[in-house]
Amino acid sequence: MSIKDANRINLPESEMPKQWYNILADMKERPDPYLNPATNQPAKPEDFFPIFAEELARQEFATEPFIDIPEEIAEIYRMYRPSPLIRARQLEKLLDTPAKIYFKYEGNNTSGSHKLNSAVPQVYYNKKQGIKNLTTETGAGQWGTALAVAANFFGVPLTVFMVKISAEQKPYRKAIMETFNAKVIKSPSTTTHAGTIILEADPTCTGSLGTAISEAVEAAVTTPDTRYVLGSVLNQVLLHQSIIGLEAQKQLELVDEYPDIIIGCAGGGSNLGGLLGPFMRDKIQGKTNPRIIAVEPAACPSLTRGKYAYDFCDQGKITPMAKMYTLGCGFIPSSIHAGGLRYHGMSPILSKLYHDGLLEATSVFQTAVFDAAVTFAKHETILPAPESAHAIRTAIDEALKCKESGEAKTILFGLSGHGNFDLAAYTEYNEKKLTDYAPSDEELEAGFKSLPVIG
């Protein structure tokens, strides 16, 4: 059997990329600079030092195309990477499409998602600097779990502020984090000033990523030798996640393929930002012209209905401001099951690529997403995370378009994680209790009112 007939295109460990790829190096125009909220002036790496480890703050501003992956990090990556690239042959057959569908699967580690790719370097650089405690937020729980695994590995204590609604929907996530020695606090909480204010305004608040970030950042800046780590949105996170795209590119080369369409779900933009890296580089350099599509939930449509504006990365308005597509840091999306996609903003890099027409975006409703998830699970045997299923929905739709047109396109999508902890969501789907929701224009306007006024 030739490798072209394979289902799983595995890359040997020795072929794992030795450097991360930094897309900022190749963007013709870079995102507008972060602004220091105290001065409204462009932020410098030093402005981030109280929040982030210095090396990570520097990576936030790095402009070189490739950055070496330290051996201590590569050693951990090799326990679960390279991740497989899989041809979805059974799904292709079911859809009766001439399209070839490949997916890059990041669920093969305890965190169950791509998040570990950035958790490991973030803990490593903090440890190297002598930081004694880490804080973070988690929505769906994948980031908290990934970070708990990494923090425990390097022996750094971790406090996780977990979005209350997610903690209630996914109690087992909390159990894994605690197994890896993390302290888990439901957010909003009264352990911080930011949480207390939010609860005073709305005692029934179920939380959001923005709320939890505020609490985690406050805990970091008010506790000695403590830093905050963020699992998405930032340039450094997209840098670490570039390993996904670099591997996928090598794997596709093994079978003489190049994607015509690249699809990823987008919450803060890290799995898609990582997957698209080398392909977007080719596109910017005019070598190829794949369509690259971000898929977001209709309930939290930052690219498709948001504003391109400066905003805080958190609801507590503590972090530097980023120019991004945003629904406003005060926007709290409805409690859809794809908790990892409930973030008000979008990575400044992806926002800029979208603004410049290099990236497309679409939004989908959760019932249609779960239809796709279950179809995929039954035919490809992996139960996808609800977040990842957004990408599946669009991949299926594009493959069906190929059936109409008779075009044998090559589709690559990111399967960012498994859904083994999302059984409450699957139960609701099976019992036909899932509902669809999109915010009204009035609700969006209310969110936009929380945007900071600059200048």
Ligand X SMILES: *Cc1c(COP(=O)(O)O)cnc(C)c1O
- Interacting residues with ligand X (CB under 6 A): 113, 115, 140, 142-143, 232, 265-271, 340-341, 385, 387-388, 416-417
**What are the structure tokens assigned to 266, written together?**
């987008």
Q: How far is CA 324 from CA 42, 106, 169, 313, 386, in A?
A: 15, 26, 30, 9, 24
* CA pair distance 321, 308, nearest whole angstrom: 12
Write the DSSP string, 312-326.
Answer: ESSTTS-SPEEEEEE
CA-closest candidate to residue 333, choices 166, 452, 177, 174: 166
**What are the structure tokens assigned to 122, written together?**
């973030």
Which spans in 115-234 are helix H?
Answer: 116-128, 142-154, 164-169, 171-179, 193-201, 209-222
In whole angstroms, the minimum distance from the beta carbon of 111 to ligand X comes to: 8
In whole angstroms, the minimum distance from the beta carbon of 63 to ligand X comes to: 22
Tell me if 231 sits within 8 A of 65, measured CB to CB: no
User: Cβ closer to ligand X: 342 or 409?
Assistant: 342
In whole angstroms, the minimum distance from the beta carbon of 274 to ligand X comes to: 8
User: Cβ closer to ligand X: 346 or 444?
Assistant: 346
User: Cβ closer to ligand X: 131 or 273?
Assistant: 273
Q: Which residue is nearest to ligand X (CB)?
A: 417
Give exposure, 198-231, as e/b (b: 16+ Cβ within 10 Å).
bbeeeeebbbbbbbbbbbbbbbbeeeeebbbbbb
In whole angstroms, the minimum distance from the beta carbon of 343 to ligand X comes to: 8
User: Cβ closer to ligand X: 100 or 228?
Assistant: 228
User: Cβ closer to ligand X: 131 or 238?
Assistant: 238
In whole angstroms, the minimum distance from the beta carbon of 185 to ligand X comes to: 19
The alpha carbon torsion through 70, 46, 355, 24 (nearest 10 deg) reads -30
In whole angstroms, the minimum distance from the beta carbon of 114 to ligand X comes to: 7
User: Cβ closer to ligand X: 31 or 267?
Assistant: 267
